[in-house]
Amino acid sequence: MKRSQIGIDEKIERQKHVVSQAKDKYDAELTKLETLMKKRRELQKKELIDAFETSDRTLAEVLEFLKDRAEDA
């Protein structure tokens, strides 16, 4: 093989390694994001349930309110 061919092959292998590392970091950061979003959703659910439990509204009234709001959007 020519010297330039060896040089380009080495560069390709190094770049593959760089891309692989970047993908691993991306995957790890995506997992963190998904975990945080899941935690936020759980907190929102708890807040909604707490608000419902302290409310004087019935479940039917709350569901009707939410349904009406969804239709208006």
The full set of domain ranges for the chain reads: 3-72
pLDDT digits (tens, 9 = 90+) for 17-63: 999 999 999 999 999 999 999 999 999 999 999 999 999 999 999 99
Residue 56, SS3 per DSSP: coil
Count of alpha carbons within 13 angstroms of residue 53, beta-carbon side: 6
Q: What string of DSSP letters covers 14-49?
A: HHHHHHHHHHHHHHHHHHHHHHHHHHHHHHHHHHHH
pTM of the model: 0.70
Question: Residue 41 in contact with residue 49, Cβ under 8 Å?
Answer: no
Question: Residue 55 in contact with residue 62, Cβ under 8 Å?
Answer: yes
